[in-house]
Each structure stands twice: as structure tokens, then as C-alpha cells.
Amino acid sequence: MTGGQARPSGARAARRQRLLRMYETMVTIRTVEDTLADDIVKGQIGCPVHLYSGEEAIATGVCANLDSSDWAYSSHRSHGHFLAKGGDVYRLMAEVYCREDGCSKGRGGSMHLSSPEIGFPGSSAIVSGSIALAVGSALAFSMDRGRRVAVTFFGDGALGEGVLYESLNFAALFRLPVLFVCENNLYSTHMPIAKCSADVDLSKKARAMGVPARRIDGNDVELVYRTAKAMVERARDGRGPSFLECLTYRHRGHVGPSYDIDKGLRCQEELDCWLRKDPIETLESRMLEEEIASREHLEEIRARVRSEVLAAQARGRDCEWPRWSDDEGFKDVYRRPEG
């Protein structure tokens, strides 16, 4: 599939364009996470931040199949999904620094990013908290008889929550256009997967609920893209939900910039092994090997992204704080009546 030589030139050009676009998205996510990590170390970020470094291929590969009318929900580890769905870097930065210009006006913080205009209704910090919501949005889409789909991203920890199974059953029962994307990064906060789940092949659990499932290498963005593509098309055609388990690894620890090695939760050998399977480097090597892009071109993308992210971060770090007054504080609790 990845050879390319025998393809017609149109397909090859489309693939080249797609890979370059996905590369830029992945580099953007990584750069955002790394620059945030630097500021956490410096004590410039107060809000808890769950970094997505190492998992970029999943959000990127899945969201490359979506447009802004499709909805993606996320979890506490939401930066990658927000950005892959087309979210603005500056508004993300401002939100992580809890400022008024943030995508959620500083009311949400890192775990509650939202940008409905790009099809990102929000992210919930309760494990499994947005899964049923995505199923409900898919129900709304199916009532409208359109071709929109809903996606929910969650970690392997979510498999411990009953609502996931209820949601899988409900989605299968009503054949809803929803894609369940499980980012299996092998740890639920501090606990290795084998201590959380008696059977570590999580895709089996979805199949048991009547939802077709695949278990794939989540660090291969092209594989994620292709697998999700079939699932998204299936949903758009009214053939029901799918479950995609992506095996991956978060480079950083559960929360913050630490690698959780100092805490004795993970070991250096394991991290090194996964760093060798870095999703961005994997894609880079493939593009160079297949002469899809030159080293200079990729470096140019990285440099441009870096300067854009740094500029957005500097602005986000320095923009206005939200202001409190009793009126300001309470008026947003409820949506005000129209007119």
C-alpha cells in the first residue's frame, strides 16, 4: 500500500499532499506540547496539563478523515485532538494559560478545550465522560439523515468505566454514526494496563458489545488514517459504529512534563524502545525513503511551525486574565434567553 511507484500520478500527488499535511499537524502538536513542558518546568503554568507527545499519529490520522461538520470529543489529554481537528494554536495556548482569549475564555483550562466552529464541542476531564455525549451527537446526526459522524477519543483507562460498555451497546443497537477511538498508551495514570484489565486486548471488549473493532499500531499515521477512513465511511453510510484501538505510548508521564521514570512508574528501557517508534520520525523516514519529501523541506516545515508556535505561546502567556465580578461570574452559568 505504501509503495506508490505503481500508482497513477494523481493518487501519488494526493498521498504526498496528505502526508505533508499530516506531518505538519503532528509537528505542530509535538511543538506545542514541548513548549508547554518548558513553561511548566519554569512554573509559568498553573493548570494541570496532560501532554499528548508520542500519540500524535492517532488524532492526526483519524481527524484527516473528518471535516468541520463532524464532531470530535476528547478527554483530559485533549490538545492533540483540538489541534488535529483544526483548532487555533493561539486560542489553545491562551486557554492553557487560563486567559480570557482562550478557546474556553479561561473557564476551562487545558482539560476543557472547545471550539464548536471546527467541530470540537469540548473535552471532559472525567474518564469516559464524553463517550456517551459523542453517541448522543451521532444520534442527532442520524435523526437529521445527513452524513455527519461523531468521534470520541479516550484512553485505555476508560475501559474500566461502565458507561463505555453502555455506550457501545447503545451505538450498536441504534446503528449510530460514531467512531470510538481508544488510545491505548499502556498506562492508566500510574497503573500499567495489565493491572487494570484482565484481558489487555481491548478491542475484544468492543466486539463483545456488537461493535466491529480493529487493533492497530497507533504510531503509524498512515495506517491510522486508512483504518479510520474505512470506519468513518461505514458510519457515513449508515452502517453503524466502529471501535479503533491504537497502540501507542505517551512520552511524558500522566500529567506534566515528567517522564514518570523518577517516580518509579515506568522504566528508561521501555521509554527508549517507544522513542525508537516515534510517530513523527516514523513518518519522516518513510517520506525520505520513498522520496516524497526532501530533508530540507521537512526541516523547513519544522522551523516554520516552531516559530508560529513560539509566537502563539508568547501571546497566549501575556494576554489578559479573565476578570471576576459577581455579575461576570454568574452570568455565564446559564445560557441567557434569546433576544
- List all residues 6 or more positions away from 102 whose beta carbon is below 8 Å from its beta carbon: 91, 92, 94, 95, 96, 108, 316
Q: Is the Cα torsion angle 253, 114, 214, 28 positive or negative in sign?
A: negative
Which of residues 1, 6, 143, 198 is near another protein by CB under 8 A? 143
Which listed residue (47, 48, 88, 139) binds another protein by CB under 8 A?
139
Q: Which of 138, 221, 231, 287 binds another protein (CB under 8 A)?
A: 138
The CB-of-304 to another protein minimum distance in angstroms stands at: 29
DSSP 257-275: S--STTTTSS-HHHHHHHH
Other C-beta atoms closer than 10 Å to the C-beta of 63 total 29
* Contact by Cβ (8 Å): 81, 33: no
Question: Shortest distance, CB of residue 274 to another protein, whole angstroms?
Answer: 32
Residue closer to another protein (CB basis): 3 or 330: 330
Q: How far apart are CA 240 and CA 238, in angstroms?
A: 6
Q: Total residues at the site for another protein (CB under 8 A)? A: 45
Residues 82-121 that bind another protein (CB under 8 A): 102-108, 112, 114-116, 121
131 touches another protein by CB under 8 A: yes
Q: Which stretch binds another protein (CB under 8 A): 131-139, 214-222, 239-247, 282-290?
A: 131-139
Give yes or no for residue 319 binding another protein (CB under 8 A): no
For position 3 contacting another protein by CB under 8 A, the verdict is no
Task: Round to whole Å and give the CA distance between 133 and 130.
Answer: 5
Q: From the list 29, 84, 150, 247, which residue makes contact with another protein (rule: CB under 8 A)?
A: 150
**CB closer to another protein out of 4 and 116:** 116
C-alpha cell at 170: 447503545
Query: Helix/strand/coil (H, E, C) string of 109-170?
Result: CCCCCCEHHHCECEECCCCCCCHHHHHHHHHHHHHCCCCCCEEEEEEHHHHHCHHHHHHHHH
Residue from 38, 270, 281, 332 binding another protein (CB under 8 A): 332
CA–CA dist 124, 110 (Å, integer): 10
Stretch 35-74: interaction string toward another protein, x if CB under 8 A: ------------------------------------x-x-
Distances (CA, A) of 191 to 44, 156, 200, 234, 281: 28, 11, 13, 34, 28
Residue nearer to another protein on the CB measure, 165 or 259: 165
User: Which of 169, 170, 37 is CA-nearest to residue 110?
Assistant: 37
Rule CB under 8 A: is residue 122 a binding residue for another protein? yes
CB closer to another protein out of 34 and 166: 166
The only residue of 195, 268, 335, 339 in contact with another protein, by rule CB under 8 A: 335
CA distances from 281 to 34, 103, 235, 285, 289 (A): 16, 30, 31, 6, 12
Instruction: Give the interface with another protein as residue ranges (CB under 8 A).
Output: 71, 73, 102-108, 112, 114-116, 121-122, 124, 126, 129-141, 143, 150, 162-163, 166-167, 169-170, 173, 332-335, 337-338
